[in-house]
């Protein structure tokens, strides 16, 4: 990859597109990316569903949001950016917006925060008898699409299926994007096998995170959206009480009540602290010994793990998706999230005395400066390729 510092930066204006401005990890990446681009004297405009005139949400707008398409078209006509950088767009804006830059002759990239481009369920999971199970997106054929349930709700499952079929099977909107950016090598490999042009760009760690160490640390922390795919309720049902009584949960979501009920059933004093600021979360990471990440879906490269590792935490998490990639060299606490016995064994290892600081793997090295340089290099590549394609 060409270094962004090897030649003058050709990028002067970027539009970032995301459903929301504040919600979860993807939104954190959007906000951080905007700040980094602005620090490089690049004009940034963030476009979200708040920039679209409010109207009643329907299945039609979920499949193809014409109002969002028109609003983004007006913005791009006015701003004429060098690059449009998409993030999550399928909740509110709809995949229809992916076609807008190509129609105006503007280069675009798409950061894939999940598996939405290749699976009706963005968590790459199906549901059978109420149980969530991961699917192999490499071999997802028409029979699988039409016979599996993609959401616990039949209505939502049908909506997810229709959105996927309309936008990626009948109309391949992935081809409207010049490059798909993957935060993990695992995801890039899967996407390339599906014929998607993909590049790897690891998410950045906090520059001001404390150096990794283990002295004086105690306790466990979960940080993130408390949703069924995060596997927290099942983890609470399986983990030893000794661990649960040291567990703090930072976050809220649809599965919070089920997690609280699971803790009550176990007689565990889990501290459900609610949603806190990112600064407060980083402070907790600097004090706790272990981050709990029991996801039952193949996570890509969750910011919570990157930030916790940078802050000196160990990771007690599932052996799925990109998590093993993040935990190379210190993967002794990973487990099968669908096996209560494997969860218990990993928890027992986590409760044992931590290794000496000298044996703790070094912090991730993807600093914000490196992330920015690599991002600008990708932008430069797609702008150059796009100009050749349009000539």
The CATH number corresponding to 13-204+367-390 among 3.40.50.300, 1.10.486.10, 3.40.50.2300, 3.40.50.2000 equals: 3.40.50.2000
pLDDT at residue 18, as a whole number? 97
- pLDDT tens column, 43-61: 999 999 999 998 788 999 9
- pLDDT tens column, 232-243: 999 999 999 999
Q: Is the pLDDT of residue 372 over 60?
A: yes
Least confident stretch, 96-105, 123-132, 174-183:
123-132
What CATH code would you report for 220-359?
3.40.50.2000
What's the pLDDT band for 373 if we cut at 50, 70, 90?
very high
Most confident range, picked from 45-49, 301-305, 330-334: 45-49
Mean pLDDT of 360-368: 62
CA dihedral defined by 177, 183, 187, 188, rounded to 10 degrees? 60
pLDDT at residue 390, as a whole number? 43
* 353 neighbors 18 (Cβ within 8 angstroms): no
pLDDT at residue 357, as a whole number? 52
Q: Do domains 13-204+367-390 and 220-359 have the same CATH topology?
A: yes
pLDDT at residue 388, as a whole number? 43
Least confident stretch, 152-156, 203-207, 369-373:
203-207
pLDDT at residue 8, as a whole number? 63
pLDDT at residue 55, as a whole number? 78
Mean pLDDT of 108-114: 96
pLDDT at residue 358, as a whole number? 44
Mean pLDDT of 187-194: 94
**Stated pTM of the model:** 0.84
User: Which residue bears the tokens 């076609």?
Assistant: 99
The secondary structure of the chain, three-state, reads CCCCCCCCCCCCEEEEECCCCCCCHHHHHHHHHHHHHHHCCCEEEEECHHHCCCCCCCHHHHHCCHHHHHHHHHHHHHHCCCEEEECCCCCCCCHHHHHHHHHCCCEEEEECCCCCCCCCCCCCEEEECCEEEECCHHHCCHHHHHHCECCCCHHHHHHHHHHHHHHHHHCCHHHHCCEEEECCHHHHHHHHHCCCCEEECCCCCCCCCCCCCCCCCCCEEEECCCCHHHCHHHHHHHCCHHHHCCEEEECCCCCHHHHHHHHHHHCCCCEEEECCCHHHHHHHHCCCCEEEECCCCCCCCCHHHHHHHHCCCEEEEECCCCHHHHCCCCCCCCECCCCHHHHHHHHHHHHCCCCCHHHCCCCCCCCHHHHHHHHHHHHHHHHHHHHHHHC
Q: Is the pLDDT of residue 132 over 70?
A: yes
Q: Is the pLDDT of residue 186 over 80?
A: yes
* 281 neighbors 307 (Cβ within 8 angstroms): yes
Mean pLDDT of the chain: 89
- pLDDT tens column, 92-103: 999 999 999 999
- pLDDT tens column, 242-287: 999 999 999 999 999 999 999 999 999 999 999 998 888 888 988 8
Distance CA 250, CA 60 (A): 35
Domain boundaries, the chain: 13-204+367-390, 220-359
pLDDT at residue 131, as a whole number? 82
- Best CA proximity match to 234, nearest among 347, 154, 136: 347
Least confident stretch, 31-40, 84-93, 157-166, 378-387:
378-387
pLDDT at residue 231, as a whole number? 94
Q: Is the pLDDT of residue 5 over 80?
A: no
């Amino acid at each position: 990859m060409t270094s962004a510092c090897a030649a003058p930066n050709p990028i002067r204006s970027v539009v970032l597109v995301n459903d929301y401005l504040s919600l979860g990890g993807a939104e954190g990446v959007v906000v951080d990316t905007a700040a980094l681009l602005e620090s490089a004297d690049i004009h940034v405009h963030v476009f979200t569903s708040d920039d679209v005139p409010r109207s009643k949400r329907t299945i039609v707008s979920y499949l193809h949001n014409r109002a969002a398409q028109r609003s983004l078209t007006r913005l791009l006509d006015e701003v004429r950016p060098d690059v449009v950088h998409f993030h999550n767009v399928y909740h509110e804006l709809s995949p229809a917006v992916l076609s807008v830059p190509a129609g105006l002759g503007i280069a675009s990239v798409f950061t894939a925060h999940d598996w939405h481009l290749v699976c009706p369920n963005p968590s790459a999971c199906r549901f059978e008898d109420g149980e969530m199970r991961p699917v192999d997106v490499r071999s997802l054929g028409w029979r699988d699409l039409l016979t599996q349930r993609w959401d616990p709700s039949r209505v939502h499952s049908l909506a997810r299926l229709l959105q996927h079929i309309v936008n990626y099977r009948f109309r391949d909107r992935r081809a409207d994007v010049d490059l798909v950016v993957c935060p993990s090598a695992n995801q890039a490999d899967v996407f390339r096998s599906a014929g998607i042009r993909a590049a790897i760009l690891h998410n950045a760690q906090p520059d001001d995170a404390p150096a990794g160490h283990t002295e004086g640390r105690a306790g466990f922390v979960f940080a993130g959206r408390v949703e069924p795919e995060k596997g927290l309720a099942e983890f609470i049902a399986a983990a030893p009480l000794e661990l649960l009584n040291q567990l703090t949960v930072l976050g809220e979501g649809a599965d919070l009540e089920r997690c609280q009920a699971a803790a009550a059933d176990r007689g565990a004093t889990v501290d459900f602290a609610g949603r806190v600021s990112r600064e407060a979360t980083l402070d907790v990471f600097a004090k706790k010994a272990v981050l709990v990440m029991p996801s039952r879906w193949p996570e890509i490269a969750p910011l919570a793990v990157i930030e916790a590792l940078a802050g000196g935490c160990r990771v007690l998490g599932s052996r799925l998706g990109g998590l093993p990639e993040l935990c190379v060299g210190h993967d002794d606490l990973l487990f099968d999230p669908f096996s209560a016995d494997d969860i218990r064994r990993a928890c027992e290892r986590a409760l044992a005395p931590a290794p000496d600081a000298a044996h703790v793997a070094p912090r991730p090295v993807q600093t914000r400066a490196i992330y920015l340089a690599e991002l600008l290099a990708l932008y430069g590549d797609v702008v150059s390729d796009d100009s050749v394609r349009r000539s």
